Structure 1
Amino acid sequence: MAANSPLITDDAMTNLDFSPKFDVTHWPLGVEKYLAQTEKPLHRAILKNYLRHLLLEVSGYWDQIIVPELTIAEPLYRVGDKGVVEVLKGKAAVEDFYRETYEARINVMGARTMNMCVEDFGVTTEAYWAHVVPGEYLRQQDHDVDADPDAHYLMNYNIFQIFAYTSDAKLIGERIYVDSASYTYEKLAPEDVVTPEQARQELAPILARATLD
C-alpha cells in the first residue's frame, strides 16, 4: 500500500504513508488503490470482500458482516492483546464482538499507515492502528490512563492481522495480534473528533461502490 523506500529506523512502520491527523477514509481509500493494482481474479474477490467488511464494521453496520455473501457460517477469530487471547467461535460470538464495539461507540477506527499483501489464503496486514474512543471508555478499560471522561482520545497501536478466506473468497476468520507495548493516546480537540455518525456519513460513498461484483 506504500511505496518502498529506504528505512530510516529499525521500525518498518515508521516510514510509510502516515496520516498525521486521523482520517476515517484514509484506510479504505488505500485498499481501493491496492485493489486497482491487483489482477488475479481470486485476489480481487478477496480484497472486495475485505473492503466491504471493513466499511460495514467502521460504519456501524455490525449485523451485515457475518452474512453468507461475506462470511462462512461458523467463523473463528483469535484476538490477542495484553497477554490474553480471546477465541470467538461461530456466528453468534463474532456478531457479539462487532455489536459490543458498536454499542461502546468505539467502531471508528482505521490504519493510519499499513503494509498489506493478498495471496490465495487471504489478506495479511501490519498497521499503525487508531481508534477514536470516549475518555470514559479509556478510564474503564485501562486504569493506568488518566483520561478526561468528557473528552475523546485517539488510541494508537501497532497491529498484525491475518484474514483467511475460502477458495470462493468467503471469510473464514481473523487472527489479530496487538503489540501491547506500542499503545499511545492523543487527546482530541472537539473539532477533530470523528463520531460514529460522522464516520458512517463520510464512508457512505465508498461503501456504495464497494460491491462484490
Structure 2
Amino acid sequence: MSPNVSTSTHDAMTTMDVPTTFDVTHWPISVEKYLARTEKPLHRAILKNYLRHLLLEVSGYWDQILVPELTVDVPEYRVGDRGTVQVLSGRAAVENFYRETYESQSNVMGARTMNMCVEDFGVTTEAYWAHVVPGEFLHDHDVDADPDAHYLMNYNIFQMFAYTDDAKLIGERIYVDSASYRYEKLAPEDVVTPEQARRELAPLLSRATLS
C-alpha cells in the first residue's frame, strides 16, 4: 500500500496514503476538514447531517440515526457486496440493518483514505475502508479466521448518500469491490472495541450538530 510516487495526482485511491494502524477518528476528522472548507449552505447542511450520522453509527447509537431531523420517513438502501445486492426499503428494514451491525459488535469502521465530494444531490465517497470484526463475522468469507480473534477487514468501497433539498437523508447506495478484500489478524492490544470507539468519538459527536 505504499504511495505511487511516480504519478502526480490527488486521487486517494492511487496514492493510497494510508495510516499504518487503524484510527477510528481519522475518517470523521477528514469530514470535519472538508466541511470547514465548504461554503454553500446546502452542502454544509448535507455534510453536517452526514458527519453526525457516521458518528452515531460507529459509536453504536444506531437508534438515533433514523430520526426526523436526519432521515426521511421511508429510507431506501442498496448494499452490493460479493455478487449480491441487499435492498432495504423503509424504516424497519434499515433500522434492523443498523441494529444487527451493533449487536454483532461490527460497528467499528471507517475510511483509511478516500476521495470525497458533496453536491446538491448528496455525498459521494470512494474509499479504502477498514472494518474491525470478530473472527466469527468472517464465517461466510473465504478466509480461515480464528473465531476468538479480531480482524481488520480492508476493502475498496463506493458510497452514495442521497439527500433532500432540506438536507435529510433519503438513502444510501453502497457497492464493495469484492476483489479487494484484505484481512489483518489483530493483536489484542490493536483491537478498537465498540466501547473504545464510543469513547474516542465522543468529543467529535458532541460538536457534530446540525446547526
Which TM class, normalised by the smaller chain length? over 0.9
TM-score normalised by the chain length of structure 2: 0.94
Measure, in 2, the Cα distance between the counterparts of 1:149 and 1:163. Answer: 33
Residue equivalent to 1:154: 152
Whether 2:72 is the aligned partner of 1:72: answer: yes
Measure, in 2, the Cα distance between the counterparts of 1:7 and 1:50. Answer: 31
Q: CA deviation at 1:66?
A: 0.6
Q: CA deviation at 1:177?
A: 0.3
Which of these residues, 185, 208, 211, is aligned with residue 209 of structure 2? 211
Which of structure 1's runs of 4+ aligned residues deviate more than 6 A?
Answer: none
Q: CA deviation at 1:96?
A: 0.3
Amino acid at match of 2:177: D
Residue equivalent to 2:140: 141
Measure, in 2, the Cα distance between the counterparts of 1:32 and 1:12. Answer: 17
Task: Give aligned pairs, total.
Answer: 206
Residue equivalent to 1:166: 164
Deviations 1:19-59 (CA, angstroms, capped at 9, x unpaired): 22100000000000000000000000000000000000000
Amino acid at match of 2:187: A
User: Identity of aligned pairs, percent?
Assistant: 82
| Structure 1: stretches of 5+ with no match in the other structure | none
Deviations 1:133-180 (CA, angstroms, capped at 9, x unpaired): 011221x222x2111111110000000000000000000000000000
Measure, in 2, the Cα distance between the counterparts of 1:16 and 1:34. Answer: 18
**Closer, same or farther in 2 for the Cα pair 1:12/1:212, shift >3 Å?**
closer
Measure, in 1, the Cα distance between the counterparts of 2:186 and 2:14. Answer: 22
Measure, in 1, the Cα distance between the counterparts of 2:16 and 2:146. Answer: 31
Structure 1 segment 53-72 matched on structure 2, within 5 A: 53-72=53-72
Would the aligned equivalents of 2:12 and 2:113 in 1 still touch at CA under 8 Å? no
RMSD: 1.5
Structure 1 segment 3-18 matched on structure 2, within 5 A: 7=7, 13-18=13-18
Structure 1 segment 1-213 matched on structure 2, within 5 A: 7=7, 13-138=13-138, 140-142=139-141, 144-213=142-211
| Structure 2: stretches of 5+ with no match in the other structure | none
**Closer, same or farther in 2 for the Cα pair 1:16/1:172, shift >3 Å?**
same
Amino acid at match of 1:125: T
Measure, in 2, the Cα distance between the counterparts of 1:182 and 1:17. Answer: 17
Q: CA deviation at 1:130?
A: 0.6
Measure, in 2, the Cα distance between the counterparts of 1:182 and 1:87. Answer: 22
**Closer, same or farther in 2 for the Cα pair 1:191/1:8, shift >3 Å?**
farther
TM-score normalised by the chain length of structure 1: 0.93
